[in-house]
Amino acid sequence: MKAYKLLINGKLVEGRTTRGIINPATEEVFAQCPQADEALLNHAVASARSAFPGWAGRPLSERAGMLQRLADALEARRDDIALILTQEQGKPLGDAKGEIAGTVGYIRYIATLDLPPKVLKENEGERIVQHRAPLGVVGAITPWNMPLILLALKLAPGLLAGNTMIVKPAPTTPLTTLLIGELCAEIFPLGVVNTIVDDNDLGAVMTRHPSIAKIAFTGSTETGRKVMESAAGTLKRLTLELGGNDAALVLDDNDPDEVAEHLLRGATLNCGQVCLAIKRAYIPESLYDAVCDALAQRANAMVVGDGQDPATQMGPIQNRAQYKKVKGYLDIAKRDGNVIAGGELSKGPGYFVPPTIVRDIHDTSPLVSEEQFGPVLPVLVYRDVEDVLARINDSHWGLGGTIWGRDLERAYALAQRFESGTVWVNRHLNLQAEIPFSGAKQSGIGTEYGQEGLEEFTQRKVINMQLGA
Ligand code: NAD
């Protein structure tokens, strides 16, 4: 069995305890992982703190070069790291490779960016220049659905900007993050990157830590609130990428079969465990039966299984707690609607949930108003576009959303009225490295991706000089 290690102060070290990592497709422990305690976390923070001035003082081009080396190293290890990602997370191997390709691509993109000083004012008497200075030690806290890409969104811009990093994955998917730590150990100076694994207890220590300047967090809205509260004590900078309950609005000029294909994919990718997954679908009355039937037919044909099996289209739910939660939503689906595909769990082992389609369900059902984070799609009917917009926007979330229709002007006009950070028209999950991404309402604070995503890891610093003194 491979011995995983934490990366602290440039050394690969044991933890204080170990935790067994479960493969969600088999429910068996397949790896042992080191786990840190508060003292080890403090040691990591202290080493990141002392590495900061040296790292921040290097030219940006040197930091970019090291990020390119990290991308190269990760690419070279794509196949074996993808296998571990599938084993710890559950997603099909092809999707795991896709996540690694996205991670590599994002790191490479960030390495092409710059943070040039900007002359704000210059004349005979004065020169005022804005710099983008790093913040110090940044804590990156990630969830278990997409451990690598969500890490890259923090690690790459954080490092390029000149910060040093403490990285903490979710306790159920730590292995791929530790593998990134191993690669970093070969590339970055001592203390610049540190990896910590916890028992869901050290995130809170990081958010209140006096020596951590910023927390870049992806996770649930509920935990995001706790992060904000705890960070208030030291007025930490925060990026919060939180939950969503994204709606798909289908307009009446769609082909039912075609749109059903897009809806099902958007609702079942990564077993529905995507912040931007389609979590509720609104269909016009004229197409309702046809779209529901097409969805059910396609859902019934999907191959659910171990992500290591090449035939698998959808893997298991990642962990037991989430599996129990999704099981609860299946009960709600039966109570509040008509289940026309899926709905029943197999005996196991494995946290498998079949793609489930639920029709004739009302807006107040928790399956519609909450974030299910599993492959259970409520399909709702509407008669009037104004009315459905109000129903869609009646949510404290506002992450993404999709509109499906042939009349692009109409779709564009409606997209402007969605209360969310991103709206896709006739496509979904099109996330591009240079296009900023941020959540509206309680789906988040701050931005990832693009130049804006990089600048989130900096502090504006203005140098204001009187000339000719
Ligand atoms: P979670 O909030 O339970 O955990 C996320 C991380 O926070 C984990 O590393 C966890 O150990 C840590 N944590 C737990 N308690 C903490 C505390 N008090 N302080 C600081 N950190 C703490 O989320 P999850 O269940 O792992 O992930 C699923 C959620 O993430 C969903 O709501 C999903 O929509 C959201 N998500 C959002 C995005 C986005 O970009 N907006 C992307 C992916 C997932």
Q: Is 229 known to be catalytic? A: no
Ligand 1 centroid–CA 416 distance in Å is: 28
For residue 377 and ligand 1, the question of a CB distance below 6 A is answered with no
Q: One of 124, 126, 229, 241 is an active-site residue; which one?
A: 241
Q: Is residue 49 located within the same domain as residue 190?
A: yes
For residue 402 and ligand 1, the question of a CB distance below 6 A is answered with no
Q: Is residue 189 located within the same domain as residue 327?
A: no
CATH of the domain at 142: 3.40.605.10
Domain for residue 311, yes or no? yes
Report whether 239 contacts 157 (CB < 8 A): no
Residue 458's alpha-carbon distances to 1, 131, 157, in angstroms, are 41, 9, 9
Report whether 138 contacts 168 (CB < 8 A): no
Choosing from 99, 275, 319, 449 the residue with most ligand 1 atoms within 8 A of its CB, the one to mutate for a pocket test is: 275
pLDDT in tens, 67-103: 999 999 999 999 999 999 999 999 999 999 999 999 9
Domain for residue 195, yes or no? yes
Ligand 1 centroid–CA 220 distance in Å is: 4
Domain count, the chain: 2
- Which ligand 1 atom sits closest to the C-alpha of 399? 41
Ligand 1 centroid–CA 204 distance in Å is: 12
pLDDT in tens, 12-28: 999 999 999 999 999 99
Q: Is residue 251 located within the same domain as residue 238?
A: no
Domain for residue 437, yes or no? no
For residue 181 and ligand 1, the question of a CB distance below 6 A is answered with no
For residue 346 and ligand 1, the question of a CB distance below 6 A is answered with no
Ligand 1 centroid–CA 167 distance in Å is: 14
The confidence score (pLDDT) of residue 468 equals: 86
Mean local confidence (pLDDT), 1-22: 97
Percent of the chain predicted with pLDDT > 70:
100
- Which ligand 1 atom sits closest to the C-alpha of 204? 19
Decide if pLDDT at 348 tops 90: no
- Which ligand 1 atom sits closest to the C-alpha of 275? 34
Q: Is residue 65 located within the same domain as residue 126?
A: yes
Ligand 1, atom 18, lies closest to the CA of: 204
Ligand 1 centroid–CA 463 distance in Å is: 38
For residue 242 and ligand 1, the question of a CB distance below 6 A is answered with yes
For residue 188 and ligand 1, the question of a CB distance below 6 A is answered with no
Per-residue confidence at 216, pLDDT binned at 50, 70, 90? very high
Domain for residue 15, yes or no? yes
For residue 227 and ligand 1, the question of a CB distance below 6 A is answered with yes
Q: Is residue 169 located within the same domain as residue 27?
A: yes
**What is the torsional sign of CA 362, 364, 368, 374?**
negative
CATH of the domain at 336: 3.40.309.10
Q: Is residue 203 located within the same domain as residue 350?
A: no
Domain for residue 108, yes or no? yes
- Which ligand 1 atom sits closest to the C-alpha of 206? 20
For residue 442 and ligand 1, the question of a CB distance below 6 A is answered with no
Q: Is residue 404 located within the same domain as residue 458?
A: no
Q: How far apart are CA 208 and CA 205, in angstroms?
A: 5
Ligand 1 centroid–CA 398 distance in Å is: 17
Q: Is residue 174 located within the same domain as residue 40?
A: yes
Mean local confidence (pLDDT), 448-463: 98
Ligand 1 centroid–CA 30 distance in Å is: 23
- The rounded mean pLDDT for the chain is 98
Domain for residue 12, yes or no? yes
The confidence score (pLDDT) of residue 87 equals: 98
For residue 456 and ligand 1, the question of a CB distance below 6 A is answered with no
Q: Is residue 340 located within the same domain as residue 451?
A: no
Q: Is residue 267 located within the same domain as residue 221?
A: no
- In Å, the largest CA–CA distance within the chain is 81
Nearest to 279 by CA among 385, 147, 387, 380: 380
Q: What range defines the domain where residue 208 resides?
A: 6-242+443-465
- Which ligand 1 atom sits closest to the C-alpha of 221? 32
The confidence score (pLDDT) of residue 29 equals: 98
Q: Is residue 238 located within the same domain as residue 277?
A: no
For residue 220 and ligand 1, the question of a CB distance below 6 A is answered with yes
Nearest to 8 by CA among 262, 142, 182: 182
Domain for residue 438, yes or no? no
Ligand 1 centroid–CA 153 distance in Å is: 15
Decide if pLDDT at 469 tops 90: no
Q: Is residue 89 located within the same domain as residue 219?
A: yes
Mean local confidence (pLDDT), 289-306: 98
For residue 374 and ligand 1, the question of a CB distance below 6 A is answered with no
Decide if pLDDT at 438 tops 90: yes
Nearest to 205 by CA among 177, 182, 236: 236
Domain for residue 23, yes or no? yes
The confidence score (pLDDT) of residue 80 equals: 97
